[in-house]
Homo-oligomer: A and B are copies of this chain.
Amino acid sequence: MPNPASPRPLLDLTADSVAITQAICDVPSVSGDETTLADLVVEALADAAHLEVIRDGDTVVARTNLGRERRVVIAGHLDTVPINDNLPTRFETIDGERYLRGRGTVDMKGGVAVQLKLALELSEPIVDLTWMWYDHEEVSAELNGLGRLARHRPDLFTGDFAILGEPSNGQVEGGCNGNLRFELRAYGLRAHSARSWVGDNAIHRLAPAIDRLAAYEAETIEVDGLAYREGLNAVGVTGGVAGNVIPDEAMLHVNYRFAPNRTVAEAIEFARAMFPEYELTVVDAAEGARPGLDAPLAQQFVRAVGAEARPKYGWTDVARFSALGIPAVNFGPGDPLKAHADDERVATDQVLSCERALRAWLTGAA
């Protein structure tokens, strides 16, 4: 039975974006547990006459329908990786810079706070806006709330440009590398290790593959003016039956991060050509996304926020928009190297400057 003496605190979106960041970080929302935060978001926007609010599971969409010539989608995920004794948030000052520290401050409630504040405030933006705050980004792809929304409501995925609020140090990061994981298997013949010449050692047969990986110099490939650095790495190796047995099977798990000028199919072809003598099993694959910075709105956005465009190395949901033909970039406060870190922390000035830059662009002031 609810206790009327301690009602759930409402989310006040008229506060500044640092205060909003703190408020929404202090409502834990590890993947799978986003309902409370999604409820708060719906409540906070319910009275905004300029917004149509749509709920799908724990994903909340809010959009304007002002008949503008162009529409921009701005999205961020509500979930975080697990808390590791780093909530509630607290402020700290390091080398004169003020930070808000705690789980989610960087990835990515700082960006979400900026978006929520502007969603409520901007009743007359110069473009129509579709805001999307979604669940289950930090877990396996099939649970992703944005993916689910695209299946349930493909009609919502229309727009001329999309911005993901993923941490990018307040810069614009375009596109992302594709991601391929595959297993290479070598086979041999099992034998007692006291008579090893009777067997055929599968671990020894992995040597050429590991050699090739160790010697490989990953390329840097320019796509739409941005330089994407690739990576080809062993991320796991297993083999062995017992201390006295010549192993008949060994497996090398390889991760290939490839520039967005290649498709997944081309990346697989490349991998097969590089390791022709092994059994190759693809275990995960995600297309990359071209930066899309040749789109007029994208160029205007980069100029307006006064940022330099850079490539994004990690895979993000910009790829989903890219796949739907909507140019998309990452733009949010926070150092991506602090994402998922136990000392995750965002510089409060970065949150505020992102707020200012996005407001200026969306109101035509920039």
Q: Is A273 an interface residue (CB 8 A)?
A: no
Which residues of the partner chain B approach A247 to less than 8 Å between Cβ atoms? 234-236
Q: Is A284 an interface residue (CB 8 A)?
A: yes
* Beta-carbon contact of B239 and A236 below 8 Å: yes
Option from B177, B201, B237, B257 in Cβ contact (under 8 Å) with A239: B237
Which of A132-179 touch B at CB < 8 Å?
Answer: 177, 179
Which residues of the partner chain B approach A283 to less than 8 Å between Cβ atoms? 243
* Beta-carbon contact of B194 and A233 below 8 Å: no
Alpha-carbon distance between A241 and B233 when the two chains are bound, in angstroms: 13
Which residues of the partner chain B approach A193 to less than 8 Å between Cβ atoms? 231, 233, 235, 255, 257
A240 in contact with B237 given A210-B203, A210-B207, A255-B193 (CB within 8 Å): yes
Q: Is A218 an interface residue (CB 8 A)?
A: yes
A239 in contact with B243 given A193-B255, A195-B313 (CB within 8 Å): no
Mask of A243-278 contacts with B, CB within 8 angstroms, 1/0? 111110010110101000000000000000000000
Alpha-carbon distance between A257 and B192 when the two chains are bound, in angstroms: 11
* Beta-carbon contact of A197 and B240 below 8 Å: no
Q: Is A187 an interface residue (CB 8 A)?
A: no
Option from B235, B240, B252 in Cβ contact (under 8 Å) with A242: B235
Which residues of the partner chain B approach A313 to less than 8 Å between Cβ atoms? 194-195
* Beta-carbon contact of B194 and A231 below 8 Å: yes
A253 in contact with B246 given A196-B233, A204-B210, A231-B194 (CB within 8 Å): no
Q: Is A93 an interface residue (CB 8 A)?
A: no
Determine which residue in A204, A233, A241, A250 has the highest number of CB atoms from chain B within 10 A of its CB, and name it: A233
Which residues of the partner chain B approach A361 to less than 8 Å between Cβ atoms? none
* Beta-carbon contact of A240 and B253 below 8 Å: yes
Which of A185-206 touch B at CB < 8 Å?
Answer: 192-197, 201, 203-206
* Beta-carbon contact of A204 and B213 below 8 Å: yes
Which of A218-244 touch B at CB < 8 Å?
Answer: 218, 229, 231-244
> Which residue of chain B has its CB nearest to the CB of A211?
B207
Alpha-carbon distance between A241 and B238 when the two chains are bound, in angstroms: 12
A207 in contact with B207 given A247-B235, A247-B236, A255-B244 (CB within 8 Å): yes
> Which residue of chain B has its CB nearest to the CB of A209?
B207
Alpha-carbon distance between A250 and B234 when the two chains are bound, in angstroms: 11
Q: Is A88 an interface residue (CB 8 A)?
A: no
Min distance, Cβ A217 to any Cβ of chain B, angstroms? 10
Q: Is A101 an interface residue (CB 8 A)?
A: no
Determine which residue in A193, A242, A257, A283 has the highest number of CB atoms from chain B within 10 A of its CB, and name it: A193
A204 in contact with B181 given A192-B314, A255-B193, A313-B195 (CB within 8 Å): no
Alpha-carbon distance between A207 and B252 when the two chains are bound, in angstroms: 12
Option from B181, B245, B250 in Cβ contact (under 8 Å) with A237: B250
Alpha-carbon distance between A220 and B192 when the two chains are bound, in angstroms: 17
A233 in contact with B246 given A192-B314, A253-B240 (CB within 8 Å): yes
A-B contact pairs, 7 of them (CB 8 A): A181-B243, A195-B314, A196-B218, A201-B214, A204-B233, A234-B240, A235-B245
Given contacts A237-B239, A244-B255, 14 further A-B contacts (CB under 8 A): A193-B257, A194-B257, A195-B231, A195-B314, A196-B231, A204-B214, A204-B233, A207-B211, A211-B211, A234-B247, A235-B240, A235-B241, A236-B243, A237-B250
The 5 tightest CB contacts between A and B, nearest first, are A236-B240, A196-B231, A204-B214, A203-B234, A194-B314
